[in-house]
Each structure stands twice: as C-alpha cells, then as structure tokens.
Structure 1
Amino acid sequence: MELPSSVARYVEAGLHGAENTKRGYAADLRSFQDYCEHHQLPYLPTEVTTVAGYISQMADRGMKLASIRRHVAAIAKLHQLAGKPSPTGHKPLHMVLDGIARVIDKQQRQAPAFTVMELKQAIQAIELTKPTGLRDRAVLLLGFAGAFRRSELVAINVEDVEITRQALVIHLRRSKTNQYGQEEDKAVFYSPNADFCPVRAVQEWIECLGRTSGPLFTRMNRGNKNKPAQPGTSRLTDQSVNDLVQRHLGPTYTAHSLRASFVTIAVEAGQSNKAIKNQTKQKTDAMIERYARLDDVKRFNAAQHLGL
C-alpha cells in the first residue's frame, strides 16, 4: 500500500538526501498505516494508546528492540514534519518501551550456552543419510562456529559462501550491526574431526542442494516412505532455526544459544575480546560481557587457580 500523498510529502521533504533513512522510515510508516487502518484508528495525528498497541504487537511478534525504536522514531518524525503534536514523547509510551526492553533483554539473557560436548552429542545423533540431517548439521555447526544470529543464517545465499584450503568464508551483505550493505566477512575453520567440521558440513549440504545460487538454508519439500524430504527453494525462517536448535539440543536452548555459546566458550578458552568481536561483529566489550554465560560458580571461578 502506498503512503497517502500528504504523508509521503512530509517524509520526502524532511529526509531529503538521507536515502537509507528515508526508505526505512517510509517502510515503517506504511506498516503503521496498515495497523491503524486495520484497527480503524487515526494515524496522523495518532494517540499514545495507538502507538503503544502497535509497538506491543511488534514485540509480541519477536521484533528486535532497535527496530521497534526505529518505528517510534519514524512516527515522531512524521508528526514533527506535519506540524502535529507527537504522541511519542509521552511518559506512558516510554514506560511501555522500557517494559519491552526489559522483556527482550531477559529473553536474550535466558538463552543458555551449551558446551562443546553437548553440541557434539547432538551432531552425532543426527541421521546423515537424509538431506534434512545434512542441513540441520550444517546449520548447527556453522551457526555456532560463526557466532551467527539466526537472521544472518537464514539470509545467507550459496553465492555468499567461499571455500578455500584455509577456511570457509561467509560474505555477509547485511546484518544487525551492518544496515547499509557494506560487506563483512566471517571465517569458519576446518576441524580435525570430519564429523564436527563446519566447513565440510556446509560443503556437503551445498552438494546436496545441487545449485550455485539462491538461499543456503531452505525448508524441505515433503517426502514419502519411498523418498525422503528434499531441499526446497524457500528460506528457513528465524523461527525455523529456533525450532531446529531445540529439536536437536533440547527445549532449554534457543537459536540465540548458538551465538551465546560461541562467546562463552571463546572467553573460557582465553580468547581476547578483539578476536571474539572479529567474529561476532559486536562493537563493544560490554556486549561480550552481556552475551557470555559465565555465571556457573563451579565452572567459571578464579578460586580454581589459586595454586593451593
């Protein structure tokens, strides 16, 4: 649905020259307009309760906090440019945003980190005679070794994968911390044990796909008793990756555990923050502290190394 000319004019005028911001705000405002029209609510000017309901719905759908804040900023900008009082500066809305932030942060912190042994046991239990098993092994090993967000995993295309004698390199064209399409690379290395090697796992999955472009990780077409399910053409979704992780590692873990486990195990192994950030693409050391699951008093404690 196109924005009304009045709305589009304000966005165009107020954001002239900022192409990425303009496109992002326009998309956000289209989404907000659809919400308002569906619930028969005014959107310019709109009410605090309308925006609160809108962002709560986004949070319930699992949208990232940064994306929710961007939507609020777009609504605020629209009202500013239209000369209308903005509902986004009201304290009740800030309270809703604070509550959403706490819930999202709690959900992220609750995603526990698995051990390397747990991951290996899960990989060993996967049936590799079927394409589904090859895909799931590749998702788990690449997701962990590359410290990938699930949104990054599902966005990878076959043509983004470069396999060399030294490593497998994923050329990321967009990520949570890279919104402008500047290419970032992640390197994943060979394992001495072929059973747990992320490079070989991805290579075998690509051979199973039988193509050189398009989505790397896809849903499976339905099989039957005579023929197992075969790779389809539709990408896995974020939720599919979460279901896959829980299917193989147990309901305690989530897709976020792939990334949290990488950080935790890397810290435990004595890797520097710089080396960890080079893979996770996090910008600050504080983010490493947030992701690392180092609260097991028996496993992570300086009292083990006092020399007594």
Structure 2
Amino acid sequence: MTGGASELDHTISAATAQRIADAVPRNTVRAYAADRAAFRRWCALVGRTPLPATAETAAEYTRFLADGGALRADGRRSGPAAPRSIDRALSAIRTEHRENGYGGLPDLFGARRILTGLRKDRAERGVRDRQAAPLSVEDVRAMVGACDPGTLAGARDRALIALGFSMMVRRSELVALNAIGDLADRPGGVEVLIRASKTDQEAIGDTVAVHYGSSPATCPVRLLGAWRERLAGVRPGEGPLWVPIDQRDRMPGMAGYSGKPGSGRLSGQAVGIILRTAAARAGVSTEAVTAHSLRVGGATAAYQAGNDPLKIARRGRWKDGSPVFLRYIRDADKWKHDPMDGVL
C-alpha cells in the first residue's frame, strides 16, 4: 500500500454531511444563505467570480455594502449596511469557501481595513448600531395587562412576555421550548430546560429555575400555568409550548385554523410582532422594541433591583466577561451611581 491519501479519504457520506450541516444553528444557516445569495447577485452584476473570490473582490464588495447595502432579488438595495451586517456577510462568504475546499480564501485584509474605516467614520458622525430597547418592569406589567386572558392569543402572550422577561431568554431559546419535556413543576415554581443556546453549541443544556412572582398579575409561573392549561385543552400531549394563533383565535389542530401550514411552532420573528402589538395596546413606546427587549430588559431590571451581576449573567447564559452583558450593566449603572457624586 502507498502512504498517500486516496480520493476516498477525502470524501464523506451524505449522512455525515447532513450531521455537519445540522450542527449549525438554523438562524445562522438562513442568514448565511441570504448573504451568499446577495454576494452572487452582485458578482453576476459586475462580472466577478464568487467562488473562489479574490481579495480584491472581497474588498470591492465590502465597499459596495457600506455604500448602499446588499443587492436584493428584485434589484433594489437594502441601504448602507451596518458594520455588523458586513462582518456577517464576510463570514458567510469565507465559510462557503472553506466548505468548498478553498480554506483561507478570500483574503480579507483589504475588506477588514475598509470595515475598520467604516466604524471610525460612523463613530465620528455619531452613528450607532441600532440596539433593542430594554423593557422595564412597568412596561411588562402594562403589556401583560393589555392582553385579553379570555382568548387563546391573550393567554399565550401574557405567559410569553412574563416568562421571557424573567428568564432573560434569547428568542431562539424561547420558541424552542416544548410544553411537557422542557417544563418541570417544582414547589417554588417551574424548572425550564434550555436544550441548546448560542453559548452552548455543544447542546449540553441548562435549566433555569423560574420562581413565583411577587405580583399574581405578572407572575411568570402562574401565567405560564394558565397558558399550559389552555394549550392542553386544545392539544394534549407533547408539542411546541408557543404556537401560532390566527385572527379568529384558533391554533393548529382546531377546526377552521387559517394560519400558514408548518411545524406548529411560533417563529422567532413572531415574538417581536407579539411584543410590539402588546406594547402598542399598552401605550408603551414600540420604538426599537424587538424580541431581544425581553432579554436586555430582564437583565437590566434584575441589576437595578440590586441583584448580583454574576448571578444575572448565569441566569441569562452570558459567557463570563461578555462585553454585551457588561454594556447592559453600564447602561443601567450610569444613572444609578455617579462617580462624580460629591465632587462638583
């Protein structure tokens, strides 16, 4: 036998390829697919090669995104892209090259220089990346109160808002919950299983102890229990905890349900819509309210209540020293503690 690797040594089965693909979070897959498609459209427009792409092509595309944004399928531009969006697009292009045997390509030296210049320019002009607005405890109370508990949608939305705020969840974690296997009733509340998260790519899993709240009207345990009863009355057995509900207050499995066919699981995008709808009904500003508002709002409220930042970070599953979490704390702290108190 010869010592060199054969062609077979460099091939993998379809089943193995599928396992590798399944390890990538679905949200990342969707985002990367959109970024790669936009890159190919631009390459076709200007006559460049998308795979393998050169360093010059990557640099030109970075400038293109910074100036007017990605090229949509209908030929329109999405508007000047933020640095984070460009960074993701470059990652999508780079990983596609690696997946196709072009590891290390394209060289992003020039593209990164352009991206650095863009960040400096935005800073000089006072432009900041759009951040999700944190919901306060008062906001949550008003939003929960604006939901009609007599309807399926109202019962679901009350529980979703209160539980999401209490757990400081990412929307992907929230919509992934199942009604039976991920919830365990305990004397002090309910234990919720997070099967996998952004900071748990190995899917080891984590549990969050959700305690009874001090106010029955916004208690996440009581509101969740009320929704679970309503859900079980329509769909007994295991399934998604959060389900889509149509305009006539019907969920999948009910006669006359008119929603889109699918898995029967609420989408992450729908969580943001639910929050903005509840906020509008409650008279809460909907500006910059997204599904992430539950996460940042819960962390901010917990810190303002005097709780230990380390325990807050553990509950929200932030990595140790997370700059994002530290920014939340700094934003809450700047009006809580004045380092110039007693100086001027």
Could you tell me the TM-score, scaled by structure 1's length?
A: 0.73
Q: Structure 2: give runs of 5+ residues left out of the alignment.
A: 1-8, 72-77, 253-262, 280-284
Q: CA deviation at 1:106?
A: 2.0
1:269 maps to amino acid: A
Q: CA deviation at 1:221?
A: 3.1
Structure 1's 201 and 174: CA in aligned 2 closer, same or farther, altered over 3 A?
same
Q: Secondary structure at the match of 1:132?
A: helix
Q: Secondary structure at the match of 1:188?
A: strand
The residue that corresponds to 2:316 in the other structure is 280
| Pairing partner for 2:293 from 257, 268, 277 | 257
Per-residue CA shift, 1:249-299, capped at 9, x if unaligned?
2312222221111111111122112211121111134432222373686x5
Q: Secondary structure at the match of 2:111?
A: helix
Structure 1's 196 and 264: CA in aligned 2 closer, same or farther, altered over 3 A?
same
Structure 1's 185 and 69: CA in aligned 2 closer, same or farther, altered over 3 A?
farther
The residue that corresponds to 1:44 in the other structure is 51
Q: CA deviation at 1:134?
A: 0.5
Q: Secondary structure at the match of 1:251?
A: coil
Structure 1 distance, partners of 2:306, 2:10, is: 52
The residue that corresponds to 2:251 in the other structure is 231
- Does 2:193 match 1:171? yes
Structure 1 distance, partners of 2:147, 2:22, is: 46
The residue that corresponds to 1:89 in the other structure is 108
Q: Structure 1: give runs of 5+ residues left out of the alignment.
A: 1-8, 224-228
> Radius of gyration: which is bigger?
2
- Does 2:238 match 1:219? no
Query: Which structure has the highest helix share of the two?
Result: 1
Q: Secondary structure at the match of 2:190?
A: strand
Q: Secondary structure at the match of 1:247?
A: helix
Name whichever of 120-129 and 38-47 sits farther off.
38-47
Could you tell me the TM-score, scaled by structure 2's length?
A: 0.66
Paired residues of 1:142 and 1:198 also in contact (CA < 8 A): yes
Q: Secondary structure at the match of 1:230?
A: coil
Q: Note the aligned Cα RMSD (angstroms).
A: 4.3
Paired residues of 2:158 and 2:223 also in contact (CA < 8 A): yes
Q: CA deviation at 1:99?
A: 5.4
1:181 maps to amino acid: A
The residue that corresponds to 1:6 in the other structure is none
Aligned pairs for 1:1-308 (under 5 A) are 20=20, 24=24, 31=33, 40=44, 42-47=49-54, 48-49=57-58, 52=62, 57=70, 70-78=91-99, 81-82=101-102, 86-92=105-111, 95-96=114-115, 106-108=129-131, 111-158=132-179, 159-210=181-232, 211-223=236-248, 229-232=249-252, 234-249=264-279, 250-252=285-287, 253-285=289-321, 286-292=323-329, 294=331, 299-302=335-338
2:214 maps to amino acid: P
Paired residues of 1:112 and 1:257 also in contact (CA < 8 A): yes
Identity, % of aligned positions:
23
Paired residues of 2:65 and 2:86 also in contact (CA < 8 A): no
